[in-house]
Structure 1
Amino acid sequence: MNIQEIVIAGAGTMGYSMAQIFAKYHYSVIIYDLNEEALSNAKKHIQDNVSILLNEQELTSQQSQDLFNHLSYTTNKDCFKECDLVVESIIEDLKIKKSFYQDISQFVKDECILATNTSGISINELASAVYKPERFIGMHWFNPCHLVLLIEIIKGKETHDSIADAIYQLSLSIDKKPVIVNKDVLGFAANRIQFAVLREALYLVEQGVISKEGIDDVMKYGLGFRYACLGPLEVADFGGLDTFYHISDYLMKDLCDSHEIPSELKEHYMKHEYGVKCQQGFYDYHNGKDVEAIKQRDENLIKIFHALYR
């Protein structure tokens, strides 16, 4: 399928980040949002991001100009009429998303692909609101989009294979590492693994086995370091499946298998302590610690990205 014109619905962090990447690779991109202020903020963030890339010599002045030439912004729904692909990145609210698709799927041309960047809402549930649901699919990006290579492509029960292949090839064309998730399950693949790790990590902290700083160090300097190069099945192959079999025999039955929200996570939530964005979560981010933490995260991610993929 020939995808040339893309509309990104939603001008938030994920929306403008995706738009910037598509434009960098010469796709014509329109960022659509109901809110003019959101569009203005998106434009400013993209300009700031491009300035950083220019300073770091990641882009030439000509490339930056080309990028801006491929981007436009609008609150006019007419932008959907002739596009080849819509990537929706609006609020994570089932009712709002379904209302959006009920409207837009009747408005776009029949061959237009409709993709959602939801991080967990059922693809099949959203597809129930889509006219011609066989062209509907999940396209789950990860923040920060310009550094995290993974894109999960999630098929609904009615998604045509040709649609999944088109989004897979599109993802390759922008130098991403796409994976096909063949069945629509809660959390897809990445979030299921992420939350399984989080459940066991919080269980060990709550049981007094290890401190919160200690469990983060276990991941950063041990497991995470290794997983940056090898997947979990590759790790098992290198470690020896006989070894992993024998460990599984006694360890699997002892792992946390609670179906409840971890108590420490619930406690912070009830206190409205949501992490970096509120300056308090498992750690304290007051007095400029939030800005420093974000800066440190990005610097480290860039170093890893350059070391492994450049």
Structure 2
Amino acid sequence: MSMTNNPVIGIVGAGLMGHGIAQRFLAAGLKVNLYDPNEAALAHAKEQIPKIFDILCQQDTSSELLTCTTSMAEAVSHADWVIEAGPEKKDIKRCIFSELCTFAPKHCILATNTSAIPIGDIAEGQSKPQRIIGAHFWNPPHLVDLVEVVQSQFTTCDVVKNTMTLFSQVGLKPVHVKKDIPGFIGNRLQHAMKREAIALVSQGVCDADTIDEVVKHGFGKRLAVLGPLEQSDLVGLDLTLSILSTIYPHLDNSKTPQGLLQEKVARGKTGMRVGEGFKTWTEATAEQVRQRVQKHLIQTQLDKNN
């Protein structure tokens, strides 16, 4: 893919999100400068990026187009876009953006990959906050096309337009989030469902296995091809109104995470990595889930590319 003006992309953070995002731009033929203060993280990224090219049956361009560095100034001083993929902590992100505003050229668009933090909270008080924008990639970014492009109260329309155009040109699926709200769109939808799922288990309606079976083998089957509002129009808004009028008064509306979740975390039952969360896990069963998800996402991406 040839890119207009061949913009240089700076990536801050070489972890799972950072090196996956880097691979997206490398695959589009763009020069990428990948920064991380940890040399081991950079070394790992240099090993993983060729593997991503391999599983996606793409030509590996990393040897020609990728530069890895422990100097932020070196990574961003000639960049046209910078995407920050650091820890999900507001104070850390604000410090990173303070440095980016110092080192990056004045024309450079600065994007944060935060999953939930309002962009205005990161941009406020920074030099030229109008060039700061949200770019929420989904994990793993080399296999999921969606990017939520989040406009804060400071972001200019040109920055939004140019970012949307760039992402479209490299084969991503950008969507414009017009209001800077915590969690944006995808995570609010995802966690609204999770709130109700935990509530149903807490109330003894069913167990965790049943929740997952209902989603995976019921309405989840069609979610990739039929969104919730499309589905509402498909069945008719009159029927939708009737169903919601019955259900809404009984849906969970907790303002804080349910006691069941808080109790599990307090007891150290935090999920697959410790062997127990809502379900009990062995390393083998946990790995089966990881492999199932990855296999599905890889096949989806290969089908799209073909």
Q: TM-score range by the shorter chain?
A: over 0.9
Shifted more, 279-288 versus 32-41: the winner is: 279-288
Partner of residue 89, structure 1: 85
Q: Partner of 1:38: helix, strand, or coil?
A: helix
Cα gap change, 1:307 to 1:254, in 2 (>3 Å)? farther
Segments of 5+ residues of structure 2 without an aligned counterpart are none
Say whether 1:261 aligns with 2:257: yes
Partner of residue 204, structure 1: 200
Q: Partner of 1:162: helix, strand, or coil?
A: helix
Q: Partner of 2:167: helix, strand, or coil?
A: helix
Q: Partner of 2:190: helix, strand, or coil?
A: helix
Per-residue CA deviation, residues 145-168 of structure 1 (Å, 9 max, x unaligned), is 122121100001010111111111
Separation of aligned partners in 1, 2:152 and 2:30:
26
Cα gap change, 1:203 to 1:3, in 2 (>3 Å)? farther
Q: CA deviation at 1:273?
A: 3.1
Q: CA deviation at 1:304?
A: 4.3
8 Å CA contact 2:11–2:75 kept in 1: the answer is no
Letter in 2 for 1:26: G
Cα gap change, 1:118 to 1:179, in 2 (>3 Å)? same
Letter in 1 for 2:180: D
Partner of residue 287, structure 2: 291
Say whether 1:40 aligns with 2:43: yes
Q: Please list, as runs of the form range in 1=range in 2, the aligned pairs for 1:206-285 lying within 5 A after superposition.
A: 206-285=202-281
Separation of aligned partners in 2, 1:133 and 1:124:
8
Q: TM-score, normalised by structure 1?
A: 0.92
Letter in 1 for 2:171: D
Separation of aligned partners in 2, 1:92 and 1:42:
19
User: What is the Cα-based RMSD across aligned positions, in Å?
Assistant: 1.8
Q: Please list, as runs of the form range in 1=range in 2, the aligned pairs for 1:1-310 lying within 5 A after superposition.
A: 2=5, 4-53=7-56, 58-59=57-58, 63-64=59-60, 66-76=61-71, 77-306=73-302, 310=306
Separation of aligned partners in 1, 2:55 and 2:240:
45
Over 4 Å off, 4+ runs:
304-310
Q: Partner of 1:236: helix, strand, or coil?
A: helix
Per-residue CA deviation, residues 91-127 of structure 1 (Å, 9 max, x unaligned), is 1111111111112202211110000000011100100
Q: Partner of 2:218: helix, strand, or coil?
A: helix
Cα gap change, 1:196 to 1:3, in 2 (>3 Å)? farther
8 Å CA contact 1:30–1:72 kept in 2: the answer is yes
8 Å CA contact 1:29–1:72 kept in 2: the answer is yes
Q: CA deviation at 1:3?
A: 5.8
Q: CA deviation at 1:2?
A: 4.7
Separation of aligned partners in 1, 2:29 and 2:177:
27
Segments of 5+ residues of structure 1 without an aligned counterpart are none
Per-residue CA deviation, residues 282-309 of structure 1 (Å, 9 max, x unaligned), is 2233242222221111112334445577
Identity of aligned residues (%): 35
Q: Partner of 1:210: helix, strand, or coil?
A: coil
Letter in 1 for 2:157: D
Separation of aligned partners in 2, 1:154 and 1:300:
28
Aligned length: 302
8 Å CA contact 2:119–2:133 kept in 1: the answer is yes
Shifted more, 13-22 versus 220-229: the winner is: 220-229
